[in-house]
Amino acid sequence: MIPGIKGSLLAAVSLALVGCAASDGKPQTASAQPAAEKSAKFNKDPYPSTYRPYAGRPTAVRGVTIFDGEGGRIDNGVVLFADGKVEAVGGGDTAIPAGYDVVDGSGKFVTPGIIDIHSHLGDYPSPGVEAHSDGNEATSPTTPEVWSEHSVWPQDPGFSRALANGGVTSLLVLPGSANLMGGRSVTLKNVPSRTVQGMKFPGAPYGLKMACGENPKRVYGGKGRAPSTRMGNFAVNRATWQKAAAYKKKMDEGKAVDRDLAMETLAGVLAGEILIHNHCYRADEMALVIDMSKEFGYKVSTFHHAVESYKIADLLAKEGICSAMWADWWGFKMEAYDSVNENVPLVHNAGACAIVHSDDANQIQRLNQEAAKALKAGRRMGINVSDEVAWTWLSHNPAKALGIGDRTGSLKAGKMADVVLWNGNPFSAYTRPEKVWIDGALMFDAMDPKRRPVSDFELGQPGEGDVK
Ligand SMILES: [Zn+2]
C-alpha cells in the first residue's frame, strides 16, 4: 500500500493510514536472531498448512458462458466438479452424471476464481487502526527474517468481502514496502479459519517481498541511516545478497552454521525455492534489479506495481518476469509518474506475463472491473484482447507467478474447483459474483444469506456480513 494518496480513495473500513511505508518510532522487535543453533539442516516448514477443503457436493453448472482462465471460451457450456476438483469443462452436450446439483447458468458466466497476487489482508486488517498495523517491520532496511503469516489475523472482515464481492479464491499476503527486503509472503486460500495455518495454500512456495525506489530510501534516509538514495538501496541489497551467498555456500558444503533466519530466507531464494516479489515502479530500476538478480543468481518472479513495465515489455518477456499492475493508479508520486492506462495490455501484447493486482482492501473486491478498464484502454489503441484472454490476467498468470499454476487458476480437469459464477459478463460494472466455490465447496451464494462468511470480530456489529 501507499499511504496518504491512495488513502483518499478508500472507504471507511480502509487501511488508509497503515500503508506499505510505516511510521517511525515503533519498538524494535524482529531484528534479533534466536540463539545460535549448530546445524546444517533446518525445518523448512515449521508452520505447516492445516488447510482442509470445506465439504462440497458434486455440481454441474450448465448453459453458461465459460472463460477457462487460460484464454479459452465455451458458450452454452457445462462445468462439472466433484470431490474438490474440476472434472470436465465442455459444450452443451456434456453429460451430467446422476446425483449432481445442477445450477442453471443461462445468461451467466463461469470463470476460475480470481487470484490476487498483492494483498495485505490480515496484516493490515479492518478496522485500520494503529493496533492493527502489522505489515511493515520498519526497523531495518532488510528484514527477510519476518514472515507475513505471523501477522495475519484470520478474523479480518476483508477476506469475506474479497470473496463475496470480488470472487477472490486465493491471494498472496505480502509484508509492506518500507524495506528493501520486507520478509516472506504467504499464499492463502480465501476461506474462514480460526488460524492462518488453516488458510495456507498447501504446498505453495514462499515468496520474498522486495522493494525498489522511494519507500526504503525515504523510510531509512529519514532516520539518518542507509539507504538514503537509490544507489544506497542497491549497495545494501548487494551486500546482503553477498552475505547470503556465503551462508548458502556453507550450508551446501554441509558445514555447521549459526542459524540465521534472515539468511535462511535468502538462501532459499538463491536455491530457487522462494520466489521474489519485487515492488518496483520505474523501468530503469527494474532493469537494474534484473542485472542484480543475475549477479547473485536468483530470479525475479514478478515486479509489483510496475507502472513503467510497458517501456521494457520486451525485456520482461525475454526474462520471463511477470508484471502485476493496476489499471489506472499512477501519478501519485514521482516514481509512479509515468504510466499509461494501456500498461497492462501493452505488456500482454509484447508477449510478457500481465497480472492485475489490488494492493488494497477495497480494490480486491473489484479486480474484474480493474481488468475491464485495462482491457478497454487497450482496445482503444487497437490492442484487441478478447474477454476470455484477458481473464488470464486475473487467474492463470497470477497462479503461475505464485508457483501454483499447476493446481489452480484455470478450469481444467484435475485442478482445484475454485470457481465463480457471475450473474453477467464479469467485465461489466453491473456484474457481481453469484456463487463462489473453493475446492468445490460453496463458500458464497448471493441468494442465500447463510452462505456469507461472518468473522467472530463482526458478530453483533453494524454491517455484520455486509455485502455491497
Ligand atoms: Zn503493498
- Cβ–Cβ under 8 Å, residues 19 and 157: no
Q: Say what the pLDDT of residue 37 is.
A: 46
Distance between Cα 27 and ligand 1 center (Å):
22
Rounded to the nearest 10 degrees, the angle between the axes of helix 230-252 and helix 214-221 is: 100
Distance between Cα 286 and ligand 1 center (Å):
17
Distance between Cα 260 and ligand 1 center (Å):
26
C-alpha cell read off for 412: 481444467
Distance between Cα 254 and ligand 1 center (Å):
37
- Cβ–Cβ under 8 Å, residues 247 and 261: no
Q: Give the chain's radius of gyration (CA, Å).
A: 22
Q: Tell me the pTM.
A: 0.92
Distance between Cα 359 and ligand 1 center (Å):
5
Distance between Cα 49 and ligand 1 center (Å):
24
Distance between Cα 211 and ligand 1 center (Å):
10
Distance between Cα 11 and ligand 1 center (Å):
17
CATH domain 6-22+113-408 topology: TIM Barrel (3.20.20)
Q: Say what the pLDDT of residue 468 is.
A: 66
- Cβ–Cβ under 8 Å, residues 119 and 358: yes
- Cβ–Cβ under 8 Å, residues 40 and 251: yes
Residue 417: which of 74, 191, 46, 81 has the closest Cα?
A: 81
414 exposed, middle or buried (CB, 10 Å; 0-12, 13-18, 19+)? Answer: exposed
| Residue tagged 514496502 (cell numbers) | 177
Q: Say what the pLDDT of residue 200 is.
A: 98
Would you list the DSSP string of 368-397?
HHHHHHHHHHHHHTT----HHHHGGGTTHH
152 exposed, middle or buried (CB, 10 Å; 0-12, 13-18, 19+)? Answer: buried
- Cβ–Cβ under 8 Å, residues 376 and 339: no
Domain-by-domain residue ranges, the chain?
6-22+113-408
Distance between Cα 258 and ligand 1 center (Å):
32
Q: Say what the pLDDT of residue 345 is.
A: 98
Residues 277, 398: Cα–Cα separation, whole Å:
12
Distance between Cα 245 and ligand 1 center (Å):
27
Residues 323, 303: Cα–Cα separation, whole Å:
5
- Cβ–Cβ under 8 Å, residues 77 and 90: yes
Distance between Cα 20 and ligand 1 center (Å):
5
β-sheet bridge partners, residue 103: 61
Strands, E, within 329-461: which ranges?
A: 353-356, 419-422, 433-438, 441-445
| Residue tagged 534479533 (cell numbers) | 32
- Cβ–Cβ under 8 Å, residues 420 and 110: yes
Distance between Cα 464 and ligand 1 center (Å):
27
Please give the DSSP secondary-structure letter assigned to residue 34. Answer: P
**Mind listing the pLDDT tens digit of every residue in the chain (468 residues)?**
443 333 333 333 333 333 443 333 333 333 444 444 444 578 999 999 999 999 999 999 999 999 999 999 999 999 999 999 999 999 999 999 999 999 999 999 999 999 999 999 999 999 999 999 999 999 999 999 999 999 999 999 999 999 999 999 999 999 999 999 999 999 999 999 999 999 999 999 999 999 999 999 999 999 999 999 999 999 999 999 999 999 999 999 999 899 999 999 999 999 999 999 999 999 999 999 999 999 999 999 999 999 999 999 999 999 999 999 999 999 999 999 999 999 999 999 999 999 999 999 999 999 999 999 999 999 999 999 999 999 999 999 999 999 999 999 999 999 999 999 999 999 999 999 999 999 999 999 999 988 988 999 999 988 888 876
Residues 67, 388: Cα–Cα separation, whole Å:
5
Distance between Cα 19 and ligand 1 center (Å):
7
Residue 30: which of 130, 122, 124, 139 has the closest Cα?
A: 139
- Name the strand (E) or helix (H) holding 233: helix 230-252
C-alpha cell read off for 272: 530457487
Distance between Cα 223 and ligand 1 center (Å):
22
Measure Cα distances from 163 to 69, 92, 382, 431 in Å: 18, 28, 33, 14
- Cβ–Cβ under 8 Å, residues 109 and 426: yes
**Angle at CA 191, nearest 5°, toward 363 and 364?**
5
Distance between Cα 208 and ligand 1 center (Å):
13
- Cβ–Cβ under 8 Å, residues 20 and 177: yes
Distance between Cα 14 and ligand 1 center (Å):
14
Distance between Cα 209 and ligand 1 center (Å):
9
| Residue tagged 456463487 (cell numbers) | 435
Distance between Cα 449 and ligand 1 center (Å):
32
- Cβ–Cβ under 8 Å, residues 440 and 417: yes
Region label for 229, one of left (φ > 0), alpha (ψ between -120 and 50) or beta (otherwise):
beta
Residues 433, 431: Cα–Cα separation, whole Å:
7
Residues 5, 326: Cα–Cα separation, whole Å:
15
Distance between Cα 123 and ligand 1 center (Å):
11
Distance between Cα 64 and ligand 1 center (Å):
35
Distance between Cα 154 and ligand 1 center (Å):
18
Query: Can you say how many angstroms the Cα of residue 328 is from the centroid of all Cα atoms in its chain?
Result: 18
Q: Say what the pLDDT of residue 449 is.
A: 87
Residues 327, 75: Cα–Cα separation, whole Å:
27
Distance between Cα 177 and ligand 1 center (Å):
6
Distance between Cα 357 and ligand 1 center (Å):
10
- CA dihedral over 455, 10, 445, 95, signed as positive or negative: negative
Distance between Cα 381 and ligand 1 center (Å):
29
Distance between Cα 41 and ligand 1 center (Å):
32
